[in-house]
Amino acid sequence: MNFKIVRFVFIVISALLAIFVFKKNIPIAYFFIPLVLYNLLLVLGAIFIQWNFYIKSINSVATFKHFMDLDESKKNICLTFDDGIHTNNTPLTLDILKRYQINAHFFIIGKNIQGNENILKRMHDEGHSIGNHSFGHTWKFDLQSTKSMQLEIEATNQLIKATIGEAPVLFRPPYGVTNPNLARAIKNTNMLSMGWNLRSFDTVAKSADQLLKKLIDNTKPNSLILLHERCDLTVEVLTEYIEYCLLEGYTFVTLKTNHEV
């Protein structure tokens, strides 16, 4: 189920209802039933990136096999961090990952790059995957036109390329919200959307114990894990979480791709 299919079905149902209203004299109020359902699906499709409603996204490590050789006999999982760069917490996160020789995906907000170029370069030099997370990451990002979204994506790509010598391929929508305008912007910039299937909710976690329990309880093979290194609790639990995963036989992987959509 995606936006095009739902829109087509809605048009067909609306046309049939129009015929019945004029030929069978059924109440016009019946039009509101499919209209309400249609708008509900549009909202839910925007919120849940895993639906691939407006944009086809990479929402599981299992999807990596379409872009790279992946040993599927292993319990593969992937760490991703949004909202970088954080001047204090990002280096701490990198220290932990380096200690365990684990690579992750970092989705960078363009406005955070200036003054933190050395941190971004370190990410790249240590083998992490750098992704685009828009330039401003404001609440109104999803209300913008395709052109404005595209400008944000391109501006961030340019800053990343100027720092590490290559532009990112992966884009993570701010808040994970998608819509037709963003779908066009991603297509126009030849980006690839990445979502997740394990959302830690570390931005609203009340304690380190709560966050760690949520991660442990929900981690399974092919987990694509959403974290934010700007959150102190995330940095606090990261070592223990990694050690748990390694003890349970999980293998940390990242998506290595230069593929364009």
Encode pLDDT of 115-160 as tens digits. 999 999 999 999 999 999 999 999 999 999 999 999 999 999 999 9
Whether residues 83 and 163 share a domain: the answer is yes
Whether residues 129 and 153 share a domain: the answer is yes
Whether residues 138 and 72 share a domain: the answer is yes
Whether residues 119 and 158 share a domain: the answer is yes
Residues contacting residue 54 through CB under 8 Å, at least 6 positions apart: 2, 3, 45, 46, 178, 179, 180, 182, 183
In this structure, what token pair is assigned to residue 177? Answer: 């919200």
Whether residues 85 and 21 share a domain: the answer is no
Locate the DSSP E strands across 157-235: 170-171, 192-194, 198-199, 224-228
Q: Report the chain's C-alpha Rg in angstroms.
A: 21
pLDDT value of position 260: 43
Whether residues 202 and 113 share a domain: the answer is yes
Q: Which domain does 16 fall in, by range?
A: 3-47
Locate the DSSP E strands across the chain: 57-58, 75-84, 105-108, 129-132, 170-171, 192-194, 198-199, 224-228, 250-252
- CATH code for the domain of 243: 3.20.20.370
The count of structural domains within the chain is 2
Give the DSSP H/E element, type plus range, for residue 206. Answer: none
Residue 55 and residue 62 in contact, taking contact as beta carbons nearer than 8 Å: no
Residue 58 and residue 52 in contact, taking contact as beta carbons nearer than 8 Å: no
pLDDT value of position 261: 38
For residue 105, tell me if it sits in a domain: yes
For residue 32, tell me if it sits in a domain: yes
Segments in the chain below pLDDT 70? 258-261
Amino acid at 50: Q
In this structure, what are the phi and psi dihedrals at residue 15, rounded to the nearest 5 degrees? -65, -45
Whether residues 123 and 169 share a domain: the answer is yes
For residue 261, tell me if it sits in a domain: no
- Give the global pTM: 0.93
Whether residues 121 and 18 share a domain: the answer is no
pLDDT digits (tens, 9 = 90+) for 198-221: 999 999 999 999 999 999 999 999
